[in-house]
Each structure stands twice: as C-alpha cells, then as structure tokens.
Structure 1
Amino acid sequence: MKATVRLNTVQGVNLTPQLLQSIRLLQLTAPQLEQELRQTLERNPLLEHDEAAEDAESAADADAATIEAAAWDELPEPSFLSGGGSIGDDDATLRIADPASSDPRVRLLQQLALHWDAPGLELASWWLDHCDDHGYLEQPLAELLALGAQAFPQRIDDLALVRQRLLHGEWPGMAATDAGECLRAQLAAQPDSAARALAARILAQHLELLAAHDDAALASALAAEPEQVRAAVALILTLRPHPAEAPAQIEDTHVVPDVVAWHAGGSWRVALNRHTTPRVRIAPHCERALASNGSDHAVLRGLLDEARWLVRGLAMRSDTLLRTAQVLVERQRGFLERGDEAIVPLTLREVAEAIGMHESTVSRIVSGKYIQTPRGTLELKRLFAVRLEGAEIGGAAVRAMVKRLIDAEPVAAPLADDVIAGLLARQGVRIARRTVAKYRDQLSIGPARSRQRVAHAIAC
C-alpha cells in the first residue's frame, strides 16, 4: 500500500470573534439590544453614553415639538376631537384612567369606598395602616387593640368588628395576625365540602405537619384516609400565601419602530428611530491614558478592544438597517401609497444585491425589526413578497385582489372561486381556481355557498 499526499484548496470564511459579535448584533431586536448594552456598560468601564449625540437629538426633538405645537393651533377645538356633543369645559385628559396603585392597602380602600360607610372606612384605614405590604399585622393583635382603644376610645367594639370584616371581606385574610389565620379566612370563603372541613382541621391543629409535607403523619393524626388528606392539602395549596392582591399586570404589547418612513416633497424619506438607536462611545480620557502608557495594563487593553468592536458593530448594524429600509421603501412605494394590491414581488436576494451584502445578512437585519409608515407600523418582513410562478405580481397582492372582489360582490349572488379567477384573468392575473380557494381560506372567508346562506339568514 502506497501512501500519497494530496493538496486541496478550500475556500471558507474565518469567523473571528469580532465578526461573530457583528452578526449577533444584527439580529438583536431593539429591546434585546438595549439590554445587551446595559450589561456591557456595567461590565466595561471604558464605554459610556454618547451624551453629545443625545443632546443633539434632544434639540431636534424640541424643534419637532415646536412645529407640532404650531400645527396644533390650526386644528379644531378639543370638543370636536373628543367626539363633540358635550357642553361646558370638559377636559378629555380627566377621563384617562389612572394606573392602579402599587400599594395594596390603597387599592383595597378604593374598593371598600364603593359600599362601606365613612366611619367603617376610617377604622379600616387605621387597620390597613398597621399592615405590611403582604397584608399581615405588623404588631401583635393585643398591642394594636390597645393602641386602637387610645385612638378610638368610643369605638373599641367597632374596631374589632372591622378587622373581622377585613379578614373575611373582599381580600380574605387581610389584617391577619399570621399565615394560619390568613389561610383559615381564605378557606372559609371556599364552598362547603369534606375536603374543606378536613383542611380546616389541618390549619387549626397540624400546621407543622403540613409544612413538613408529611401526609402519612397527617392521615394518622386526623384518622383519615390518605386520599382524603391529599385532597385537603391540594385545597390548601390553592390558597394565597399572602392576603394582599397584586395589581393586574397588563402585558406591554406596544411595538417601538426601528425605522421611520414618511412622504415629503414628492419623495419617500427614511431615518432610524433615534429612540431605539444606541448611542455609546469609548471614554476619550480612558483611550488617551491607555495610548500613553505603552504596553502596560493588558486587561484594560482587552476591554478597549472589546469596546472598539462593539462601537464598530453598532455602526455596522445601524448602517445596514438604514440601507435595507431605504431599498424596501423605494421598491414598495406603491404599496405604501396605494395599499396591498400594489405590493410588488421582492426577495431577500434582490435586496442583498442592492445593498451589496449577503442575503443572510438581510435576513438577520429584518428579523424582528419594525418600520413606522403612514400606513401603520409594519414588520420589515411585511415588505417582502413572493412572486407567483409565471407572473409579475406577488401572492400578497393577489390575495388583496381576491378580498376586494369578495367585499364588492352582490349579496344575493356571491362569486364562486372560478368566477373570481376569471375576473382576475381579465386584469392580467392568471391563477387557478384552487389558488383562489387557498387565498380565500387564508382570509378566513367561506366558499360562495356558505356566504349565500349567511346572506339569506341575515335577510330573513
């Protein structure tokens, strides 16, 4: 057997740490990038916010606000904007709901004010002032009753009664002395059952065994079956450990656009949203100090290199995002001006060729990014469209055409899929009947016979 040496040449890309970081920055969304920069600023002392750039942007915002304020003077009176019909000085801002207080005691008092009288609210407020944020009494009950007797000498009996009303009221367990009393109050509000009766015995006599999760010992102490004990324990586990209710959390579904596009002077303009564009720089005094110290401070020099890579990566991200958005707006200006039917076929490869980058780079930069337009805030991916085979139009435009024809069809004679295909053919769009059916399904629109039945039912 003869050994041979063969030389092959292979072309590839060496993914350096700098390149990997740049690629990762491209695909980060605005919230992810903000978190990334916050962590990096805490870790790397050589980086700082670019306050000069932020001040310039603030000045630009002030100029824009002045223009908007001048334009506001030309608008109708606020009564017209709020729908009209009201007489007198009606400030629309007064009708904006205040956010829920973070203090549970304030929220509970607001609820009690709907059906409690003033004397009861006064005593309830006193009890709640002596509760912690979880709803438990901050001092022993005997001490608080003594203090209450001094504050309300003529209403000692009412004071104890109000605490019981709080304990078994809107938030069961409020103003409880300990966790056991809190859980017992919540349990009393549950429907009557064998499991509730057994759970009450556990809370009253065997809290230690419950905390130890010793179901066998509980069954022996209560002379009950293990299944009954498990059911009672399961009921206890559904109770809240603290009586104070947390405020309802409203999910933030707002989308902050990364790019803004607007029409002015007969052309479309594109700019990065300054509120989502990070502004960081290398601290000048740190860079000068390291430059004058020769080869010392190897750790700091590593941090300096990291800072330089980050600043360059952010600049590359902003430049790539802006150039990509400019191409998308330029190619889809018909869609922005006239709507879905004017959207043209556009692929990642076409945009990549226009900006001189690889299509994988375009895919990363448009992922999770949004653009604000006069037609609404859209995901950048929304401006891409797949070309129909053998046609110069995209599927999104055809789907919009199908919707327009169905919306305008006679109520008594809905259009069948083959009729819609024929009407589109007259407009130069030749697609099969099954393609019409596919787009109709995507629009959640039923076939002609079901639409006819619905129209007949409405007429009857």
Structure 2
Amino acid sequence: MKTSVRAQLSQGLNLTPQLLQSIRLLQLTAPQLEQELRQALDRNPLLEHDEDDEAGETGIEAQAAELDTAALEAAAFDELPDPAFTSGTGAGIGGDDDGMARIAAGSSTDPRVRLLQELAMEWDGGDLLLAQWWLDHCDDRGYLEQPVDRLARDGAEALAVDPAALLHVRQRLLAGPWPGMAAADAGECLRAQLARLPLTGDPDPAGRLLADRILAGHLDLLAAHDHAALAQALGADPADIARACGLILALRPQPVEDAPDAPDGVVIPDVVVRHLDGGWRVALNTRGAPRVRVSAHCEAALGGGSGHAALRGLLEEARWLVRGIAMRDDTLLRTAKVLVERQAGFLARGDEALVPLTLREVADEIGMHESTVSRITTGKYIQTPRGTFELKRLFAVRLEGAEVSGAAVKAMVKRLIDDEPSHAPLADDTIAALLARRGIRIARRTVAKYRDQLNIGPARSRRRPAQPLRATA
C-alpha cells in the first residue's frame, strides 16, 4: 500500500456561538422570546429589567448603540450562501461542521415552508431548489396548478437544469414524507399514498391492486360510489370492490398536512400596524416580553478586564444577548415596514388588492439575504385593522401571465360568486370571461380550482328558483 500526500482546497463556514445565538433569536416567536428572556434573567445576574420602556410598543432607536456594535461582529451572518440555510450543507462544507443544521427552524402556516424544512434534513441543496420549484406551483391542497410537462419545461428553462432532473425530484416529492405532494390530480395523489402503505402484514394484497386499478382509470365511478359499475368495468366481485373502495376512503383526500403547532386561539402579535395621519404606522409589540439590559453598575465594575473570569463571561453573554435582541428587532421592524408599504392596498381594501411579492424582493429592499427574511417572518404575526395573521400571508405568488397574485384572483372569484343572482349563477367560463375584461386572463379550470379551494359548488348546485314578484295594491 502506497501512501501519498495530496493538497485539497475547500471552502468552510465557521459560525461562532454568538452568531449562532443571533440566528436562533431571529426565528423565535413572541412566546418563545418571552420565555428565553425570562430564563436569561434568572440565569444571568448581570442582566436586569429595562424599566424605562413601559409603552408596550417600541421602535429600534433605543437599541442603536448595541446594534451598531453587533453589526460589525455579525457581518458574516447575512453573507451565508443560500444552501447553508436551506439544506444545512454547501460546497466544501461537511454536514457535521455546519452549525445551521443544529438550529430548529420553527413551524409556519405555509405548508411549502414546513415541507422544505423537513426535506432539508436529508436532501441536498440542489434537489431542494428543484423541489421548491414544484412546491411554488402547487395550490393550497398540494396539487399542481398546471400540467406536469409544461411545468417541467418552464422549470428547466428558469433553473437551467435538465427537465428529467425536475421530473425525478417530483417523483421523490410524490413518494416523500407527505405522500402525493405535487401530484397532477387526485388519482395520482391517492396512488402515491396507496404505494406508501406498509406491505408487511397486509391481509389483502389483492385489494390493494384493485384499489390501484380504480384510482388509475375509474375515479369518476369512485366519486359516484357506483360499485356495480366498477365491478363490471374491472371484472371483479362487488364485495372486493367494496373493500378496495374502503381502503381508498381511508387515505387522505389531499397531501398537505396540518401545521403541528398551529395556534390554539391565542396569538401574540410581534408587530402592530395602525393607520394614523393618512399613513401606516408600524411598531414592534413588546407587551409580555420583558425588556432587558446589562446592569450598568456591574458593567462598570467589570470594565477594563477586571474581575473574575466567570463574571466576565457572564458579562459578554449578557452583552451578546442584548445585541442579538437588537438585531432581531431591527430586522423584524424593517421587514414589516417593507411588507406594509408593498401591501398597503391589501390593508386598505382587502384580498383583491394583494400584489405579488417574493422573499427576494423584500430581501433586496432591506439589503439582506432571502433566508434572513424567511426566518424573521416564519411564525411571526402582525396585528392590523384587518385582523391578526402571519407575516407570511403578505407574500403572494404572481399569477402566470398577469400582474396580479393568485390570492387576489381567488378573492375576485369569491366576490363575483357572492354577487351573482341566485336564480342565474355564474358558470366557470363566464367568471373567466368577466375577469378577462379586467385584463386577468385565466383558464376555466383555474376558476374551478379556486372555487374548489373556497368550498363553493358548481353553478348548477348554486342555482335557486327566482322569487316571484309580489303584486302591489
């Protein structure tokens, strides 16, 4: 065996404990931040309550000194490459050395964000990017909004990859932790879930095969619960058909899973928005979470490097916590201001005025990375005159071929249906034609998709007999 020496150049990413703490503070929700600060006050005697701030809502000016100092020390935070945030690994960076992978990502009400966070534990950054393409073109249920071939062609052009690679990633999504995700239709979704059922101990393998045949070509008969027609079409016994249909009905009607930690009715907003003097005022909500600062007399006593090493360590820990909170508040406030500015129409007029807005656009506006914006908006809530909701709701995907968002078009469809005559409901193609007059050209099937998401039936089920006119004396 011959030994040799070889030089190899690789890129590494080292995150200090202070920087890891700053990143973790970014993603803490309001209740988590309150718990973190109360534990810090109990643990570190050099921290104390900041009694000067009792207004409950504050800007960032009071923390400018800490923020300026921390900005230089944590400058590398916002220069991290995107794969380090999404997958925990990057070029030349080993998974064991990556501190980002050890930071919990929190949960979002956006299913795409939750699934990407789950996939990031096992998938590499390249496949995650392709998966994000498919998820960005899924509706709220997890079904693709456009034909598979068209999305594969458009994605290959947009991402400069082979269409076969995109299609391979879609198959991984179909068979992934949320079986059926990015399915073209309900049949493909249910077949993916059926394939994920455990084979060991299956008492009825023939029933599974029969269920797969039903999903492959007879969804219409399944939806009509016509077991006799299914038995005739498949040449099977009616009792076997009934068992196979029972197996299908036990599957999930859609692949999207509910948020594991969805709010249980009590939400503490992180940001408060009010309309004052003709404009929108954005402020951080600090009610509940204690304001902390470094004890002035303790800091003076330990100044110049004097004092016990343990006390100096506690002092540095206290300083970094205060600076990290200042950085978090500054990032949250600046992000919220951009969101409110861009979506002022939504705050004033509702969902129909929700304009397309992406993480990249907000990140460019505040001079930070998309990953930073994603972390600071995940799990954070904003209180507005229109209610309290997650900051993520202010992002909207642009409808292909139009200058409006899909959420806005869905709201328009709902308004048209709400205003329709009860005796002459609008058909899907009529709604599409009405939207086309406003410059929004969408297919009839897109209208049907939005209508299904709104749990609104087709025109024939909404028809009501006209009320007879009453004769006047």
CA separation of 1:403 and 1:58: change in aligned 2, threshold 3 A? closer
Aligned partner letter, 1:51: E
CA separation of 1:278 and 1:357: change in aligned 2, threshold 3 A? farther
Question: Deviation at 1:350?
Answer: 0.8
Looking at structure 1, the residues matched to 289 and 367 of structure 2 have their Cα atoms a distance apart, in angstroms, of 23
SS in 2 for 1:45: coil
Q: Is the 8 A contact 2:31 2:268 kept in 1?
A: no
Q: What is aligned with 1:286?
A: 298
CA separation of 1:3 and 1:457: change in aligned 2, threshold 3 A? farther
Aligned partner letter, 1:46: L
Q: 1:313 aligns with which of 318, 324, 331?
A: 324
Q: What is aligned with 1:416?
A: 427
Taking the TM superposition and a 5 Å limit, the aligned residue runs for 1:98-247 are none
Q: What is aligned with 1:47?
A: 47
Looking at structure 1, the residues matched to 427 and 446 of structure 2 have their Cα atoms a distance apart, in angstroms, of 13
Looking at structure 2, the residues matched to 278 and 22 of structure 1 have their Cα atoms a distance apart, in angstroms, of 18
CA separation of 1:458 and 1:318: change in aligned 2, threshold 3 A? farther
Aligned partner letter, 2:437: R
Percentage of identical aligned residues: 73
Q: What is aligned with 2:314?
A: 303
**What is the alpha-carbon root mean square deviation over aligned residues?**
2.4
Q: Is the 8 A contact 2:432 2:444 kept in 1?
A: yes
Q: Is the 8 A contact 2:47 2:293 kept in 1?
A: yes
Aligned partner letter, 2:446: T
Q: Is the 8 A contact 1:258 1:277 kept in 2?
A: no
Q: 2:286 aligns with which of 247, 271, 274?
A: 274
Looking at structure 2, the residues matched to 336 and 369 of structure 1 have their Cα atoms a distance apart, in angstroms, of 17
Matched, 1:5 2:16: no
Aligned partner letter, 2:41: L
Looking at structure 1, the residues matched to 465 and 375 of structure 2 have their Cα atoms a distance apart, in angstroms, of 50
Question: Deviation at 1:9?
Answer: 4.6
Question: Deviation at 1:458?
Answer: 9.9
Q: What is aligned with 1:378?
A: 389
Q: Is the 8 A contact 1:277 1:318 kept in 2?
A: no
Question: Deviation at 1:421?
Answer: 0.9
Aligned partner letter, 1:389: E
Q: Is the 8 A contact 2:56 2:287 kept in 1?
A: no
Task: Deviation per CA, 1:23-72: give whole Å up to 9, x if none.
Answer: 11111111111111111111111111011223xx2799xxxxxxxxxxxx
Q: What is aligned with 2:106?
A: none
Task: Deviation per CA, 1:395-425: give whole Å up to 9, x if none.
Answer: 1000000001111111111111111111111
Looking at structure 2, the residues matched to 411 and 457 of structure 1 have their Cα atoms a distance apart, in angstroms, of 7
Looking at structure 2, the residues matched to 265 and 369 of structure 1 have their Cα atoms a distance apart, in angstroms, of 26
TM (norm. structure 2) is 0.53
Q: What is aligned with 1:389?
A: 400
Gaps of 5+ in 2: 59-262, 469-473
Task: Deviation per CA, 1:338-368: give whole Å up to 9, x if none.
Answer: 1111110001111111111111111111112
Looking at structure 1, the residues matched to 318 and 46 of structure 2 have their Cα atoms a distance apart, in angstroms, of 7
Q: Is the 8 A contact 1:370 1:379 kept in 2?
A: yes
Aligned partner letter, 1:5: R
SS in 2 for 1:42: helix
Taking the TM superposition and a 5 Å limit, the aligned residue runs for 1:25-104 are 25-54=25-54, 57=55
Q: What is aligned with 2:437?
A: 426
TM (norm. structure 1) is 0.54
Q: What is aligned with 1:255?
A: 267
CA separation of 1:363 and 1:58: change in aligned 2, threshold 3 A? closer
Looking at structure 2, the residues matched to 359 and 47 of structure 1 have their Cα atoms a distance apart, in angstroms, of 33
Q: What is aligned with 1:154?
A: none
SS in 2 for 1:391: coil
Question: Deviation at 1:445?
Answer: 0.4
CA separation of 1:58 and 1:425: change in aligned 2, threshold 3 A? closer
Question: Deviation at 1:5?
Answer: 2.7
Looking at structure 1, the residues matched to 367 and 339 of structure 2 have their Cα atoms a distance apart, in angstroms, of 14
CA separation of 1:299 and 1:406: change in aligned 2, threshold 3 A? same
Q: 2:276 aligns with which of 264, 269, 274?
A: 264
Question: Deviation at 1:261?
Answer: 1.3
Task: Deviation per CA, 1:157-184: give whole Å up to 9, x if none.
Answer: xxxxxxxxxxxxxxxxxxxxxxxxxxxx
Q: 1:444 aligns with which of 434, 452, 455?
A: 455
Stretch deviating more after TM superposition (374-383 or 308-317): 374-383
SS in 1 for 2:462: helix
Gaps of 5+ in 1: 61-250
Question: Deviation at 1:298?
Answer: 1.2
Q: Is the 8 A contact 1:50 1:280 kept in 2?
A: yes
Question: Deviation at 1:252?
Answer: 6.8
Question: Deviation at 1:276?
Answer: 4.9
